[in-house]
Structure 1
């Protein structure tokens, strides 16, 4: 079993022993990148400017350091591996169709950190350059936390005969977690790439992965995922 999987074990599974080894068919696998958008990732744009204006930038620096130093490089590595081996790369992003944001769910209309108004054609909505989609790679727009709820993502990948989804992105304890749970409820096998995700703090990140691992998904590192796929090509 992958070392990362062993790291994230909740109370419920503390005495359950090792779960079965993960089996994967690369031909029926896709990667999903969640919300790695200019609005949330850039240090000189979007949310970061709001944090600086409000005098709370210092507490967000570790999050942005993880994005720059860990999440983006590992996600880029994983994307390149997937493309090289003919495995679909897909994207989910927060983007409303109405400029006013009337089509957003109540979570994204509620005042506070989750109050996000990101029109679909705006610079804020685009994926960061390092991870941007290529060619006909599927990009699903969502006005919810989950990439699955309220979109046709599950239908699209089911039409493509996908059975396993490798999830990456931000933030671990919100949009990533909502997506993982939705995919599991729709009958997909889910793998979360731990070092391709981030939450506001490592405490939140680790706690959410511990909750989800073995129940809704299998948590692995990007290198472990690459090795798993190589062994099954």
Structure 2
């Protein structure tokens, strides 16, 4: 799947016979790079050996592929004077009572990430520059409950490149929200991750073509004129 061109990869049943698209061209002035939820909490190994084993493939994907590719995209965007933006899950209250329902249900999503604590911060290797915009969210979508929509409009952004975690949760929710607001979106499949590759691939098939275009990091860098 990952070896195919963006023009043919990750096609769902709905788009099996859609026409081959023309090449994409992204103007740096109207394009933003949005890094979603690559936070310390999600790259910290569990103290439980069973959980650590379950998440080992995810951690390997993050460290060997996703984080290096996001770093390349950030460096490219900065070099071309593109807006680099970040979204992170971070509650305003220490006890997390301001979180949305999706972020306080029992289980994996029930993470308490107060905004000033280490766990909620973007990982050091991708640290935002002081002038780069970071939005805090207590929902899955980076548009819901934040002023990101207004910020993008004020900056004259028409196209958003989305990367980060988790593909099937906050990335997908953000992509769908952006598409509903008539932003063009590109998702870099090798700069995102879900808990498993199967979940990751299935979600990319669901959002490709209708909500975004799914492409590799190399292909996306090539789109930027």
Query: Which TM-score bucket, shorter chain as reference?
Result: over 0.9
Structure 1 equivalent of residue 187 of structure 2: 192
Distance 1:134 1:59 in 2: 34
Out of 55-64 and 14-23, give the one that drifted further. Answer: 14-23
**d(CA) in 2 for partners of 1:5, 1:39:** 35
Equivalent position of 2:8 in the other structure: 6
Cα distance in structure 1, aligned partners of 2:20 and 2:104: 42
**Which residue of structure 2 lines up, in the alignment, with residue 139 of structure 1?**
134
1:121 corresponds to which of 110, 116, 120: 116
Q: Across the two proteins, how many residue pairs are aligned to each other?
A: 222
Q: Is the 8 A contact 2:140 2:173 kept in 1?
A: yes
Q: What is residue 144 of structure 2 aligned with on the other side?
A: 149
Partner of 1:161: 156
In structure 1, runs of 5+ residues without a counterpart are none
Equivalent-residue separation in structure 1 for 2:44 and 2:190 (angstroms): 18
8 Å contact kept, 1:190–1:217? yes
Residue in 1 aligned with 2:175? 180
Task: Name the counterpart of 1:227.
Answer: 222
Structure-2 separation of matches of 1:86 and 1:16: 34
Per the alignment, residue 37 of structure 1 pairs with: 39
1:142–1:150: 8 Å Cα contact kept in structure 2?
Answer: yes
Give 1:83 shift: 0.5
Instruction: Measure, in 2, the Cα distance between the counterparts of 1:82 and 1:12.
Output: 33
Following TM superposition, the consecutive aligned residue runs of length 4 or more in structure 1 with deviations greater than 2 angstroms are 19-24
Deviates more, 1:77-86 or 1:18-27: 18-27
Determine which of 67, 73, 77 is the counterpart of 2:68: 73
**2-structure distance, mates of 1:4, 1:187:** 21
* TM-score with structure 1 setting the length: 0.92
In the TM superposition, residue 7 of structure 1 has moved relative to its aligned partner by 1.2
Is 1:88 aligned to residue 83 of structure 2? yes
Where do 1:41-52 residues align within 5 Å? 41-43=43-45, 48-49=46-47, 52=48
Structure 1 window deviating more from structure 2 (3-12 vs 141-150): it is: 3-12
Superposed displacement of residue 21, structure 1 = 3.2
Matched, 1:16 2:38: no
Normalising by structure 2, we get a TM-score of 0.95
C-alpha contact (below 8 Å) 1:37/1:127 kept by paired residues: yes
Is residue 7–residue 21 contact of structure 2 (8 Å, CA) maintained in 1? Answer: no
Deviation of the 1:22 alpha carbon:
2.5
1:57 aligns with 2:52: yes
Q: Report the Cα offset of residue 135 of structure 1.
A: 2.0
